[in-house]
């Protein structure tokens, strides 16, 4: 394995999604040091991303006893008359803090296109890459004193959150199971040799810069390397290390990569990270739908419930939005393989914290499986709601690299979801 020098770290950082350390990323990050937004309720977002598209009928919108349930069962929650899919025993006790939107409407039933739509609020367009919620939050909100990436994706999915037209510097930094170390952040050299190499590199760079001062300065290479070294030595990296937490708390989240990812997400927002995306793959249930969902809920239920409880205990829920979503839902009809296929019209998300009113359900789907829904919610409306809670102007217009003008969200905030 090649020793980790400043040069190799900057190169591998880009591959790992840490383009915030590249010259362009550095300039964008510096430009993003905005003033605090007045009236903002939330300051961070945690996205629990259900890769593959979970079935609303086995999770947040069960219809027990109806043909569309396919025999799946439901359980009562703390909210009178509101049920969750069987397997959400712990989350059921937290429902007074969570809102369910059961009527989300999308026009994209393909995994990649659906993912782009939900994460960015816009349908894919070959002429522009739209930024994700986390990228917008990092671009618009200040992050003084944060030495590590402010946008993080744990157990990163095939299509991680992007910076889009805001710049690659706002792409999510991708990392794996918090049980292991953060990749490419530790030198393989003894300290003295590492220091010597840095001195030698400085000699080479100084010689190269002679006669090229303006051009070299424009690359921000030295600043980029300095930021990389700062991250490598930062105490904030310990936020990824969930072994620092009490064993009892770790058990509440569940001894799974996803559970550890959710615990790490809470630790990361405490040190100033704006958005953490924690991914749970395995929801693409074209066959054996019920069994796969039962397995997935054994992972999701303890982690989601523990995260809400932990944030509340630490007085962080009011300043942190928690969104649980996938790229689409699943068909009301079971297919011959006992599975459910893609269903982008009328599926569910769960949202809590950060100025979001909990303990309610918005929208209804037809219990007989028809496509009509009551109180439909467009994806752009959901994005506008979250951005408003963050104190971000969701109608702010940006210019893309090809000169197009685009709003952060193409929708209106959902009044029923917002406090006050």
128 within 8 A of 251, measured Cβ to Cβ? no
328 within 8 A of 109, measured Cβ to Cβ? yes
Confidence of residue 205 (pLDDT cuts 50, 70, 90): confident
pLDDT in tens, 142-186: 777 888 999 999 998 889 999 999 999 899 999 999 999 887 777
pLDDT in tens, 382-395: 999 999 999 999 99
Q: How many residues are there in the chain?
A: 420
* Mean pLDDT, the chain, integer: 88
Mean of the pLDDT values across residues 268-284? 97
Return the exposure string of 302-316: e unless at least 16 CB atoms fall within 10 Å of the residue's CB, then b: bbbbbbbbbbeeeeb
pLDDT at position 75, please? 98
Cα–Cα distance between 219 and 102 in angstroms, integer?
48
Per the confidence metrics, is the pTM higher than 0.85? yes
pLDDT at position 34, please? 44
When mean pLDDT is compared across 7-11, 102-106, 189-193, 348-352, the lowest value belongs to: 7-11
Find where tokens 């994700």 sit. 132
pLDDT in tens, 209-224: 777 877 767 776 777 7
pLDDT at position 40, please? 62
CATH fold for the domain made of 32-178+241-417: Alkaline Phosphatase, subunit A (3.40.720)
Q: Which residues contact 73 (CB under 8 A, 6 or more apart)?
A: 62, 64, 85, 86
139 within 8 A of 170, measured Cβ to Cβ? yes
**Domain boundaries, given as residue ranges, for the chain:** 32-178+241-417
pLDDT in tens, 16-52: 444 444 444 444 444 444 444 545 679 999 999 999 9
Mean of the pLDDT values across residues 49-75? 97
Q: List, as one string, the DSSP characters of 190-246.
A: -HHHHHHHHHHHHHHHHHHHTT-HHHHHHHTHHHHHHHHHHHHT-GGGGGG-GGGS-
Confidence of residue 323 (pLDDT cuts 50, 70, 90): very high
- Please state whether beta strands 98-105 and 83-85 pair in parallel, antiparallel, or not at all (unpaired): unpaired
């Amino acid at each position: 394995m090649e020793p980790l020098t400043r040069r190799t770290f900057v190169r591998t950082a880009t591959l790992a999604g840490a383009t915030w350390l590249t010259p362009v990323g550095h300039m964008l990050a510096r430009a993003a040091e905005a003033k605090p937004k007045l009236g903002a309720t939330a300051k961070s977002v945690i996205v629990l991303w259900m890769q593959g598209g979970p079935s609303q009928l086995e999770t947040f919108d069960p219809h027990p006893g109806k043909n569309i349930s396919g025999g799946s069962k439901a359980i009562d929650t703390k909210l009178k008359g509101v049920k969750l899919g069987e397997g959400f025993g712990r989350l059921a006790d937290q429902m007074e803090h969570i809102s369910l939107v059961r009527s989300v409407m999308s026009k994209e039933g393909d995994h990649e296109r659906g993912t782009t739509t939900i994460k960015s609020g816009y349908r894919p367009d070959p002429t522009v890459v739209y930024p994700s919620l986390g990228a917008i939050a990092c671009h618009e909100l200040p992050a003084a004193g944060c030495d590590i990436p402010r946008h993080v994706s744990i157990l990163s999915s095939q299509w991680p959150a992007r910076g889009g037209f805001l710049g690659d510097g706002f792409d999510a930094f991708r990392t794996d199971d918090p049980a292991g170390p953060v990749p490419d952040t530790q030198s393989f050299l003894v300290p003295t040799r590492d220091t010597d190499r840095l001195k030698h590199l400085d000699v080479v760079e100084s010689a190269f810069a002679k006669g090229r001062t303006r051009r070299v300065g424009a690359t921000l290479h030295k600043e980029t390397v300095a930021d990389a070294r700062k991250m490598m030595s930062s105490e904030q990296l310990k936020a990824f290390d969930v072994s620092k937490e009490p064993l009892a708390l770790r058990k509440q989240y569940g001894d799974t990569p996803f559970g550890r990812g959710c615990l790490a997400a809470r630790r990361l927002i405490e040190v100033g990270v704006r958005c953490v995306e924690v991914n749970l793959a395995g929801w693409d249930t074209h066959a054996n739908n019920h069994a796969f969902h039962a397995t997935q809920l054994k992972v999701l239920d303890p982690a989601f419930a523990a995260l809400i409880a932990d944030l509340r205990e630490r007085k962080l829920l009011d300043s942190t939005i928690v969104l649980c979503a996938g790229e689409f839902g699943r068909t009301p009809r079971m297919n011959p393989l006992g599975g459910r296929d893609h269903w982008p019209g009328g599926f569910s998300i769960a949202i809590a914290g950060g100025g979001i009113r909990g303990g309610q359900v918005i929208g209804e789907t037809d219990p007989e499986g028809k496509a009509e829904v009551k109180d439909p919610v467009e994806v752009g409306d959901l994005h506008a709601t979250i951005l408003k809670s963050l104190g971000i102007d969701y109608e702010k217009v940006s210019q893309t690299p090809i000169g197009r003008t685009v709003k952060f969200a193409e929708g209106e905030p959902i009044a029923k979801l917002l406090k006050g």
